[in-house]
Amino acid sequence: MEKVLVKKSDVGQDSLFIKINDTGELIAKNYSYNKITEAIKTKVKSIYRNYLEIGSKLALAKKEKLYEINEYQNIYDYAAKEFELRKTSVKNLIAIANRFCDKDGSLLKAYKGFSYSNIVELLSVDEKDIKSFVPSMSVKAVRSKKVELQVNKELKALTNKTGSITQLIEHIKTFDWKKGLGFVNYEVTHELIKSKYKAKNEHSWLSGTYEVFINFLILRDKKKVDFTIKLKLHETEKSKYSLSSDKLYMWSECFKDFKQLDKLLSKIADKSKEKLNAPAKEKKESPGMSKLTYLGKNTSGTLQKIDLHIATNVHKEYYYESKGWKDDHVFLYAKPKKHKKTNPALFELKYLEDPLKAVVINLESKVETRLFPEFDKYISKALSKSIDVLNK
């Protein structure tokens, strides 16, 4: 009997301590509940000014389940009944406290200066992208930047190994070109050109648009045909793929599925057939600059005489490079290929279209000499003869 009583006594003592502890926790919990509730009530009237403190206290109430003291089911019921806070606001306030505040409820240094509205917007931003935002940005700018970041993530996925654009490229490269071109010895290559999407900005006409260019080449021997696939995404227009080829005179024809694309590729193949089947043109190798034996390419008799005079009497041992639409400006070199260091220009001939002004300049000494010192006398003599004829 004594053992039983001792056993019951032990059990009773354990239960007693448990009940005492529970009661103590309940008292402490009730105290915290009342304290936090009253604190929030005094701050909630100026929620935008006191959001950090409110959020920290709500986060604590949720963590400790203090709302159970007054038989609320969850933190949202508690906040709605006690403070008339909507569920979304409560979620935002608690999330801000958990992510952007230290243990004392102060905003972390990295987020100092951000307004409440901007801090709420940043809740959905990945940690690695936070550096793209600054406190001076408006809410509109923050939202635009968020869209920009998200769009670029999705567009990056389009060009990865399993992305839609990668599949599109593979489809074009494996298209039955043999059937369309009529021969087997060909090669299809491509170059992908992409940029980052920029959200709409009133200061830039390029913003709000994203384009991807895929340039294709069909090669056969030394002949080639090129065409371009363009994906254009725009804020105010429907997204679209288009195919164009300037050299084949195909101007931006749109397609929305592989069936339509195959029709356009067949058209490309048909138009390319003749060009790729044509005999290759012999390419003349250029030796470099021409030897100075005769410069004249113009029909002007006077200029041809000037060029001939230069070639035969002045600098015939040099190579030349002519400038100007009438070849009236010439540089002379010692070797057939110009090079700034190993073969710089030696002489410069200017004003060749006018024998009275034509000069040669030594580019090393900067000495300028008239090219035809006697030409004005020749002109005067010829003019005198003409006048004499008219006077007879």
How high is the pLDDT of residue 11?
Answer: 45
Which positions ≥6 away from 319 have C-beta within 8 Å?
288, 289, 290, 291, 292, 332, 333, 334, 335, 336
How far are the Cα atoms of 21, 302, 365, 381 from residue 357, in angstroms, in the given order?
Answer: 113, 13, 20, 18
- What is the domain partition of the chain in residue ranges? 2-132, 156-277, 290-391
How high is the pLDDT of residue 316?
Answer: 57
pTM of the model: 0.51
The separation between CA 206 and the C-alpha centre of its own chain, rounded to angstroms, equals 11
State the first-to-last Cα distance of the chain, in angstroms, to the nearest integer: 169
Q: What's 310's DSSP letter?
A: I
Contact between residue 333 and residue 321 where contact means Cβ atoms under 8 Å apart? yes
Chain segment 102-138, per-residue pLDDT in tens:
888 888 888 888 988 899 999 999 989 999 999 999 8
How high is the pLDDT of residue 211?
Answer: 79
Give the chain's largest Cα–Cα span.
169
Low-confidence stretches of the chain (pLDDT beneath 70): 1-27, 29-30, 44-48, 199-209, 234-238, 278-317, 324-328, 353, 355, 372-392
Which amino acid does the sequence have at 112? K
The β-bridge partners of 217 are 189, 226
How far are the Cα atoms of 199, 210, 212, 239, 241 from residue 234, in angstroms, in the given order?
Answer: 10, 6, 12, 7, 12
